[in-house]
Structure 1
Amino acid sequence: MEALGTLAGGIAHEFNNILAIILGFADLARRDVTEADRLCQYVREIRVAGHRAKDLVQQIVTFSNRSDVERTPEKFNLLVQDVLQLLQASFPATIEIRHNTANDVGIVWVNATQMHQVVMNLCANAEHAMRDTGGVLTVDLDSVEVETPAQTDAPHLPPGSYARLTIRDTGPGISPKVIGHIFEPFFTTKDTGEGTGMGLAIVHGIVTNHGGDITVESTAGTGTTFRVYLPRCASAKRSEMSLPPSTLPLGRERILFIDDEAALVQVAEGMLAHLGYDFQAVSNSREALTIFQAAPNDFDLVITDMTMPGLTGEALTHEFRRLRPDIPIILCTGFSHVMDAAKAQAMGIDAFLLKPLALKDLDLAIRQVCNGRRA
């Protein structure tokens, strides 16, 4: 697991840099086309796919590090519908998908990417069970009120209100000798090369980490039923949609931007120019230090990458602060084993951002830091 965590960190850093370039240019392109332009739809789809890839990378890191993930209030039926829409095109014609997901079972406080993974994995396992013979995949949503911990339709759950997802297949079923082991890591009944045995273990971990539970029932020859229970929120609002480009305020500050990826420097130039900032962007950390040494008072803000050859973002921060203690600094990284938000805050970093950055997120961080300093 330690080796996996190290590997995941390297993957995250490199992939997030690549995604930062893709999403950055997509953000810029989106602002140069109108809604009526056919290219607008293409750019929108690039952004959607890019954000799914971003979430996937974070999922890998989260699993390897066992770290907390960001959760938001989400309508559970909409999350399930999103997954089913993707599955419709990939399932063979021999498998019929029946679902009752229009039922609004309320809002759950979850990580949407992980919930997509739960539904996708359970449905994929059902498809695998029915691949040779065909059959019916049934997906239902309802709500359950648990009054006692030993309630038969929701075992092991404390009293409360829950959303319940039921996924049922008509496959050959699971043997009684096997069913007690299916949530164990690396346990699989699939042939070599078809499964790692981690799918259901991850599903179980995600569900229980969200305060819910998952159960399984199976009878030989008649299929298998999984039930996922998640606590419902009493009341919450879903995350607001992105602000339209026209609502982003124009800045006036002069910014020094540093990143060793030349393409990311180009993305930053486009973003900062669009937002109205005066800036100097460089791809060499030592060159950035030389520029700052020559005129430390010419800049209102520094935005620097963390992992760079020559001088890291941490080393640059120390040098900048030695030359000018009051200079605001935003530190960015795709992933770092040696830097996190808590350490950045302890160093006096004004904002710590994870790549890839959306245009609106970058602008929000700049405005908060600059306004805070003036205040």
Structure 2
Amino acid sequence: MEWSEELSSGLLRAAPDAILVIDGERIVLVNDRAEHMYGWPRSELVGQLVDVLLTDAGRAIRDERRRLFTESPVGSIGTVTTTARRRDGSEFPCESSTTLIETPQGRYAVAVVRDITERLRAEEEKERLRAEAHAHRSQRLESLGQLAGGIAHDFNNMLGVILNYASFVIEEAQAEAPDLAMIAADAQQVVRAGKRGTDLTHQLLAFARREVVRPQPVDLNELIAELRDLLRRTLGDRISLIFRPDPGLPMVTCDPGQIEQLLVNLALNARDAMPSGGSMVIDTGSLEDRVRLRICDSGHGMAADVVERAFEPFFTTKGSGEGTGLGLATVYGIATQAGGEVSITSEVGLGTTVTVLLPAGAAVLPQDVPSGVVATGGHGETLLVVEDEDALRDVAGRILTGAGYRVITAEGGAQALDLAARHDGEIDLLLSDVVMPGMLGKELADRLVVVRPGTRVLFMSGYAQPVLASQGTLEPGVALLEKPFTANDLLVAVRSRLDS
């Protein structure tokens, strides 16, 4: 059979892909690359039924390809990814693009076939490296989280002492005489600084996923709509806020206060990235069994090495005094503690996109409904206070004694059990730190209530992981006072626990 010059010149001998001309059933022309790819000499391959090159996967679509060859107009009939068979029986993945042509000799299918073995290997290697990098980053962040949680625990103890002793100074100065007003004012500055420190420890604990969360069913669209005014104030007048909600968004189960904190932190970052103005877009959507919350800004963006470390606590590219480096670390902790994940894409000059994926579905959760104003005074009840930090133990004892309680103090679990064994009367409440050397507060409580089943338990901690259930919620029946606490916080929690 003679071929037209146009068709013959179209079959480039040096083409990187295999080219086969098929009359519907048989191979009538191939190029050099086809010989090499399939392992057949041209003289033997030409004239063969195309089936010799097909695997089971290829045969599965054979009838559809025949129909297209017969019924389709001239032109491309598409590209498929499948597998092909060599002469020795080995198989390889390939990508096949087929075009129908009409010649004076009849209709033919021209198949351009590319071996994609190396491409798939490269993609698999890229995915493997990506997974390793993700695992490495997760391990690094987990280690940093453990460190941050430990720091927050110790810092919370110190803040508890600072805040309460400053409050003692204020109360005594105000009670003594007006000329001590300056001392009270100075102590107020100490309290303000302590409260800023408290905010810092909460951010650390959020990153470390050690913060106690209070999850509830949440409509993200409704929550974001309620926060728009707050976010606009955070962004400032030069930055426009655009909200694009998905009307069919499923509910999620999360702590709405933490989602608010997450959005405010991202708004602060966006504001700092757009000093000359711009826009921040929040959109929601569904992705399989998850809810997507996406925040995009048109700011100056981040380089790849900055993106890689963006979730690390205290990592910041801002100048001294302009940021703590905890904003994105807090976002990471909130998202992961809610059972989700968070990712960042960013390019210098093109802005940043933060995507948070949360599990869809609203769990039925018990709600604690406060019943009016809680009294704070004691009626002579006996409290066993266990705290390994001496100054904080003294502070708690002083507050509780002054409120009308009888207080027994211990510096650890072993001493507490010994004092309880030698105490003749009732012990109405065990107030125990959670993390202590030698014996955790939970173990102490478990052992104490065996011999004193009438004793109620109230834990106090800034690092409550040992008494937390999954996703940071409290174990059933556990009451927790979060550090650092004020005198009123302590008295309300103790009275509530005694009256429960």
TM-score range (shorter-chain normalised) is 0.5 to 0.7
Partner of 1:313: 441
Q: What residue number does 1:135 align with? A: 276
Deviations 1:140-186 (A, max 9, x none): 78x98x8xx6xxxxxx599x9x99976433x4x689xx7xx997x55
Q: Name the count of aligned residue pairs.
A: 322
Tell me: CA distance 1:157–1:28, structure 2 relative to 1, closer, same or farther (3 Å): farther
Map Cα deviations across residues 221-267 of structure 1 (whole Å, 9 max, x no partner): 6x537588999xxxxxxxxxx999x9643121121212111111122
- SS in structure 2 opposite 1:297? coil
Residues in 2 aligned to 1:358 and 1:278: alpha-carbon distance in whole angstroms:
19
Contact in 2 for aligned 1:21/1:263 (Cα 8 Å) = yes
Write out aligned runs for 1:206-225 (5 A).
223-224=350-351
Task: Tell whether the 8 Å contact from 1:83 to 1:119 is kept in structure 2 after alignment.
Answer: yes
- Counting only pairs closer than 5 Å after superposition, residues 265-304 of structure 1 correspond to structure 2 as 265-283=393-411, 285-304=413-432
Shift of 1:303: 1.5
Give the letter aligned to residue 272 of structure 1: L
Cα offsets for 1:46-83 (capped at 9, x unmatched): 46414412321221221xx7x98335889657867767
Establish whether residue 168 from structure 1 lines up as the match of residue 298 from structure 2.
yes
CA distance in structure 2 between the partners assigned to 1:26 and 1:80 by the alignment: 37
Indicate conservation of the 8 Å contact 2:382/2:426, yes or no.
Answer: yes
Map of 2:213 onto structure 1 = 69
Matches within 5 A, 1:1-375: 1=139, 2-25=142-165, 39=185, 42=189, 45-46=192-193, 48-62=195-209, 69-71=213-215, 76=224, 97-98=238-239, 110-113=255-258, 115-121=260-266, 123-124=268-269, 127=272, 135-138=276-279, 156=287, 167-169=297-299, 171=300, 186=309, 194=317, 203=331, 223-224=350-351, 226=353, 248-252=375-379, 253-283=381-411, 285-309=413-437, 311-317=439-445, 320-321=448-449, 323-335=451-463, 339-341=466-468, 351-372=479-500
2:422 maps to a residue whose letter is A
Equivalent residues of 2:239, 2:280 under 8 A apart:
yes
Alignment TM-score, normalising by the size of structure 2: 0.46
2:384–2:431 Cα contact (<8 Å) kept = yes
Q: How many Å separate the matches in 1 of 2:229 and 2:443?
A: 47
Q: CA RMSD in A?
A: 5.8
Higher mean C-alpha displacement, 322-331 vs 109-118: 109-118
Question: For 2:154, what is the secondary structure of its paired residue?
Answer: helix
Residue 224 of structure 1 aligns with an amino acid whose one-letter code is G
User: Residues 86 and 49 of structure 1: is their aligned pair in 2 closer, same or farther, counting only changes over 3 Å?
Assistant: farther
Q: Give the 3-state SS of the residue equivalent to 1:276 in structure 2.
A: coil
Contact 2:434 2:459 in 1 (8 A): yes
3-state DSSP class of the match of 2:153?
helix
Structure 2: how far apart are the matches of 1:5 and 1:254?
Answer: 37
- Measured in 2, the distance between the counterparts of 1:49 and 1:243 equals 30
Structure 1: unaligned runs, 5 residues or longer: 89-95, 102-107, 150-155, 232-241
Q: Is the 8 A contact 1:140 1:166 kept in 2?
A: yes
